[in-house]
Structure 1
Amino acid sequence: MSMKKKHHAALAAAGLCALLAQGTAHAGGHYVAGVEGLQGSSVPPPGNYYLGYLVHYDIDDFSAPGTDAKLPGSNTGKVTALANRLVKVTSTKLLGADYGFETIIPVTRTSLDIGAAGLSDRRSGVGDVYVGPLVLGWHGPRWDAVAAAGVWLGTGKDGSPASPGKGYRSTMLTGGVTVYLDEAKTISASALSRFERNSRTDAGLRPGNQLTLEWGVGKQFGGWQAGIVGYDQWQLGEDRGPGASPDKAGRHAVGAEVVYPVRPGLLLKGAAYKEYQVEAGTGAEPKGSLLRVSLVAAF
């Protein structure tokens, strides 16, 4: 490694320590890409639902701030989260759609070992809670659509690199569509977008707004369903405040999903994703692979 590259790596590691302490190691936003997959834009019929998303994210390395190059040394981590989502879809119609509301309560365990910053941290706890007073689901002969709005509350504990809370609030807007490519509705293609506008942290840093796109193309085989899924995240605006840079973060992944109907009103889903490109913004950005198991239950 040249002296110039070593100097840049040292600066990146020093900056990483400060950024991690502010909880900005990840791209701005609360939403975890990869929790939705096949038919992600299809809202269920009126009823009460529990959706449990068990997610495990293995961090292989970190991209250095402002680049897609790896940080020097050994930099690894693991995040395991259970997002508990409760959804009520009513029989009330609004703009021709079924009206509903929801909440998400995440519980996380994070372990970080970042040699480039001389940092090791492990934390568990309840993360920032999401409250969604508006969920709209439309259903056509060969399509479904969704629109939703809500707020991620800054309720989780923050202040350390592995803390479960982000340290700021985010307003999230959702829109998406699922189309069925045959009359029997056995082949589907879906795209679900989430836009997040973030508030400031106590330190005065406001992460740039973020757009997430989750997509899936699937085929039913009797009761089973299988297909290709993926996600993309883009930071749309620059971070602003102390230590902010004009660089924007992003991540892109592709994977596969299988859906198994355990019984009427109970679905089990499993998916695996591999991130193939990650760009870092103001802070270092983790890159790795994600495993997700979802339980969807009507009650």
Structure 2
Amino acid sequence: MTQARTRKTRKHIGGLTAAALTALSGPTLAANGHYVPGVEGIKGAVVPPPGVYYRGYLAHYDMDSLRNEQGNHLPSNNTGSVTALVNRLVWVSNKKLLNADYGMEAIIPLQRTSLDFGIAGINSTEHGVADIFVSPVVLGWHGRQWDAVFGAGLWFDTGDYSSTEPASIGKGFKTTMLTLGGNYYPDAAKSWSISALSRYEIKSKQDETHITPGDSWLVEWAMAKKLSTGLELGLVGYNAWQLENSKQAPAGKAEKHSLGVEAGYFWPSLMIGLNAAYFNEYDVKNGPSGDLFRLTLTKVF
């Protein structure tokens, strides 16, 4: 009886830990996919005018606990951190497709992951180039008081992954990501903005474990006000859901909800913008929970 209970407990811990570690990619933790909510914030659904752009995201995620399927803390000291510099290149052409500005983008993350999960006896640190994202389709529409975006791309399994290394930088599987979002300006001066940016992720099978993570969906949102000084302040958040159970894995569905604040400023003479944001995850199920700190540098060429 005791041995059976021990095996059952280990299976639960192993499954939950696998679900937690499956989310490790990009700059921080998602709800089991590649894309990380909280990377975009104020006006996150706005595609810029034709040109070439660089965005650098410096993100740090502090894990303070592991949560079960009911959202309760698991016992023991379960902490960790993920720090990353994510390099994003965006090209928006002068061509139109479906009456939208057509563009492309690529994302290359550099990441360091450190885990100390007492419940599973994990103490591991890894660093390197994580999985790379390429999108051949980015469409941006612009109205008098609104903007919209659609995108499609693929996360490649380029980062190092091992099923025996919990802090692996890569995920070991590819993900098709579809993007849809919109931004609305309540006033004609566009000093106020309300935005929502959604990502739907479809995963492939993880070759080493034969696990196929379940599809996931997330929404990043923001409500912001641009002051006369040019400073932009906003309330931001994200909500992420794993929509189906992973195949060949015992763990349940992951879920995350967060609320935060963001400030940003753009220097026209330098064609440089800087944003800073903080997110607190107030509700998490079946995975790690914590706080996300993010700095974003935007350079227009």
Same fold by TM-score greater than 0.5 = yes
What is the CA–CA distance in structure 1 between the aligned matches of 2:21 and 2:41, rounded to whole Å?
31
Instruction: For residues 172-214 of structure 1, give each alpha carbon's deviation from its aligned partner in whole angstroms, at most 9, with x where no partner exists.
Output: 0000000001010000000000000000101110000010100
Give the aligned partner of residue 128 of structure 2.
125
Determine which of 221, 229, 233 is the counterpart of 2:240: 233
The reply on whether 1:217 has 2:223 as its aligned counterpart is yes
Q: Counterpart of 2:224 in structure 1: which amino acid?
A: G
Given that 2:23 and 2:34 are in contact with CA atoms closer than 8 Å, whether structure 1 keeps it comes out as: no
Q: Counterpart of 1:74 in structure 2: which amino acid?
A: N
Question: How far off is 1:70 after superposition?
Answer: 1.3
Runs ≥4 in structure 1, deviation > 3 angstroms? 5-17, 20-27
| Residue 228 to residue 20, structure 1, CA distance change in 2 (3 Å) | closer
Determine which of 79, 96, 101 is the counterpart of 2:99: 96
Count of residue correspondences: 288
Give the aligned partner of residue 244 of structure 1.
250
Given that 1:13 and 1:71 are in contact with CA atoms closer than 8 Å, whether structure 2 keeps it comes out as: no
Q: Counterpart of 1:31 in structure 2: which amino acid?
A: Y
Given that 1:205 and 1:244 are in contact with CA atoms closer than 8 Å, whether structure 2 keeps it comes out as: no
TM-score, normalising length: structure 1: 0.91
What is the CA–CA distance in structure 1 between the aligned matches of 2:187 and 2:102, rounded to whole Å?
27
What is the CA–CA distance in structure 2 between the aligned matches of 1:14 and 1:151, rounded to whole Å?
28
Question: How far off is 1:28 after superposition?
Answer: 2.2
Give the aligned partner of residue 137 of structure 1.
140
Q: Counterpart of 2:132 in structure 1: which amino acid?
A: V
Question: How far off is 1:118 after superposition?
Answer: 1.0
Cα RMSD (Å): 2.1
What is the CA–CA distance in structure 1 between the aligned matches of 2:125 and 2:37, rounded to whole Å?
22
What is the CA–CA distance in structure 2 between the aligned matches of 1:45 and 1:21, rounded to whole Å?
38
| Residue 254 to residue 63, structure 1, CA distance change in 2 (3 Å) | same
Question: How far off is 1:120 after superposition?
Answer: 0.1
TM-score, normalising length: structure 2: 0.91
| Residue 23 to residue 174, structure 1, CA distance change in 2 (3 Å) | closer
SS in structure 1 at match of 2:189: coil
Q: Counterpart of 1:183 in structure 2: which amino acid?
A: A
Question: How far off is 1:236 after superposition?
Answer: 1.0
| Residue 85 to residue 21, structure 1, CA distance change in 2 (3 Å) | closer
Instruction: For residues 57-104 of structure 1, give each alpha carbon's deviation from its aligned partner in whole angstroms, at most 9, with x where no partner exists.
Output: 00010113x331211110100000111000000000111111000000
SS in structure 2 at match of 1:194: strand
Given that 2:20 and 2:32 are in contact with CA atoms closer than 8 Å, whether structure 1 keeps it comes out as: no
Given that 2:19 and 2:32 are in contact with CA atoms closer than 8 Å, whether structure 1 keeps it comes out as: no
The reply on whether 1:56 has 2:56 as its aligned counterpart is no
What is the CA–CA distance in structure 2 between the aligned matches of 1:90 and 1:99, rounded to whole Å?
6
Determine which of 43, 47, 54 is the counterpart of 2:51: 47
What is the CA–CA distance in structure 2 between the aligned matches of 1:166 and 1:41, rounded to whole Å?
26
Give the aligned partner of residue 174 of structure 1.
179
Give the aligned partner of residue 299 of structure 2.
297
| Residue 10 to residue 237, structure 1, CA distance change in 2 (3 Å) | closer
What are structure 2's unaligned runs of at least 5 residues? none
Instruction: For residues 221-246 of structure 1, give each alpha carbon's deviation from its aligned partner in whole angstroms, at most 9, with x where no partner exists.
Output: 121100100000011112112x334x
Sequence identity (%): 47
Given that 2:34 and 2:175 are in contact with CA atoms closer than 8 Å, whether structure 1 keeps it comes out as: yes
| Residue 36 to residue 15, structure 1, CA distance change in 2 (3 Å) | closer
Moved more, 168-177 or 67-76: 67-76
Instruction: For residues 5-45 of structure 1, give each alpha carbon's deviation from its aligned partner in whole angstroms, at most 9, with x where no partner exists.
Output: 9997655335456x379846763210011000010001110
What is the CA–CA distance in structure 1 between the aligned matches of 2:250 and 2:118, rounded to whole Å?
23
Instruction: For residues 83-132 of structure 1, give each alpha carbon's deviation from its aligned partner in whole angstroms, at most 9, with x where no partner exists.
Output: 10000000001111110000000010010001101110000000000000
